[in-house]
Copies of this chain bind each other. A is one copy, B any other.
Amino acid sequence: MAKDFPTRAENYSQWYNDLVIKADLAENSAVRGCMVIKPYGYAIWEKIQLNLDKMFKDTGHSNAYFPLFIPKSFFSREASHVEGFAKECAVVTHYRLKNSPDGKGVVVDDDAKLEEELIVRPTSETIIWDTYKNWIKSYRDLPILINQWANVVRWEMRTRLFLRTSEFLWQEGHTAHATREEAIREAETMLNVYTTFAQDWMALPVIQGVKSPAERFGGAVETYAIEAMMQDGKALQAGTSHFLGQNFAKAFDVKFLNKENQLDYVWATSWGVSTRLMGALIMSHSDDNGLVLPPKLAPIQVAIVPVFKTPDQLSFISETAIAIKKELEAKGIRVKFDDRDTRTPGWKFSEYEFKGVPVRLTIGPRDIEKGTIEVSRRDTLEKEHYPMTGVCDRIADLLGQIQNNLFQKALDYREARTYRVDDYEEFKQILDKGGFIYAHWDGTKETEARIKEETKATIRVIPLNNPQEPGKCIYSGKPSKERVIFARAY
């Protein structure tokens, strides 16, 4: 497996790009800004989907599907939605091709021009609220708790695999409620679902908070978010949950008869995570030897590599290997026994290390004679010989330990790069090294914009349950009542 790519210290950005491609996770396609997600990368995304989907259903949500296309006029209905959203969208203007007059290929048929252009959805609030209008008459029709797994398109000029692509995959929840309180509770519930998923499954420590007004989603009254730190000290927004108030209900005229028999506008939330999580997963745990995957999301959790010289040796080893595989699989562990004779054991060791397989078992004839097995863990690169007796229980435990270790390592990393700063010069120095900065802010969007312009740092979140602490804005010196988190971000 090719080690011909830079270390994180040499070039973090190049390290990431090379890793994604060389580990067979994704690649750029023939269409600018659109990626191909390769089977190994997609297998990880499937695990993310499967587990999130279960968590959505356990909190009462159902899946549904809404159209890919949205009439152009829908976007201008909710004023801050269209403003907040970049207008970089894929626009469908025609619905037919025809043979080229010169006989070479096909051209767009000018006679097949749409009366109103269609936009490939960048997000679905507008088309969904236009639909909900017909579903909601009374409080008895509420709440509506729907999620959609879909592809969306936001035309991007500078793209990076998983982190920023013109087309990406995501889920978007869209809920409708009878009361303000219930909608806020829903937005918070989903923030907690995302937090649990990030921490327990991705081994990714996150900070919960709300966005500053300038960083809110277009059309939202409050945007909740979880923020994670990558290994270069930059922030990555790993999920958002929006309390939309009655903004979309008003824009699409969605009213209901409440229990008091009075007409009122419906309250809304929306929330989403995307294939960007793949970027977060890769960037937070991987190292200079390649990918490191948390066991809970690894397509292969345990790889078994036999070391043999003759077919007889292989068949002797296989007996043990297959027995272990079966026992591990019975515990719900995903195992690959790589008995190919077209690759050397050394090649396989590199391969599974590079692909981030959490545990590798090596079995040679002498191991079997001695009744031991070599167990290598990917996170620490440590090797140990386990006695054969009870080996499967120990491996199951080990997978749990690796999962916890990755979380703790990422948490320690973040804590070590988190600062409380009161001086603007120090603030700028730290940003150049990378890290999260708790600093005072005067609460104005002018100051926020200036800081962003001068330092490229943004307010990532105002943490939930933030301790109130009077102070002076790091930029303007004006009074502040709490610290907020600043960082440069993906």
- In the assembled complex, A344 has its CB within 8 A of some CB on chain B: no
Residues in B whose Cβ lies below 8 Å from that of A82: 106
Q: Are B97 and A109 in contact (CB under 8 A)?
A: no
Chain A 80-117 near chain B by CB (<8 Å), digits 1 or 0: 00100001111111111110100011101100000001
- In the assembled complex, A38 has its CB within 8 A of some CB on chain B: yes
- In the assembled complex, A120 has its CB within 8 A of some CB on chain B: yes
Q: Are B167 and A36 in contact (CB under 8 A)?
A: no
**Among B42, B95, B127, B153, which residue has its beta carbon within 8 angstroms of that of A89?**
B95
> Which of A1-47 touch B at CB < 8 Å?
27, 29-31, 34-39, 42-43, 45-46
> Which of A427-469 touch B at CB < 8 Å?
none
Residues in B whose Cβ lies below 8 Å from that of A73: 105
Distance of A69 Cα from B127 Cα, bound (Å) = 21
**Among B30, B71, B100, which residue has its beta carbon within 8 angstroms of that of A127?**
B30
Q: How large is the interface on A (under 10, 10 to 19, 20 to 34, 35 or more residues)?
A: 35 or more
Q: Are A34 and B67 in contact (CB under 8 A)?
A: yes
- In the assembled complex, A189 has its CB within 8 A of some CB on chain B: no
Residues in B whose Cβ lies below 8 Å from that of A46: 63
Distance of A130 Cα from B63 Cα, bound (Å) = 33
Dominant SS among interface residues on chain A: mixed
Q: Are B118 and A90 in contact (CB under 8 A)?
A: yes
Q: Are A94 and B91 in contact (CB under 8 A)?
A: yes
Residues in B whose Cβ lies below 8 Å from that of A169: 65
Q: Are A68 and B167 in contact (CB under 8 A)?
A: yes
**Among B66, B67, B91, B130, which residue has its beta carbon within 8 angstroms of that of A108?**
B91
Distance of A320 Cα from B118 Cα, bound (Å) = 54
A-B contact pairs, 10 of them (CB 8 A): A27-B134, A34-B67, A34-B68, A69-B90, A72-B97, A72-B108, A82-B106, A91-B96, A92-B93, A92-B120
A→B interface (CB under 8 Å):
27, 29-31, 34-39, 42-43, 45-46, 62-76, 82, 87-98, 100, 104-106, 108-109, 117-120, 127, 130-131, 134, 140, 146, 150-151, 153, 155, 167, 169, 342
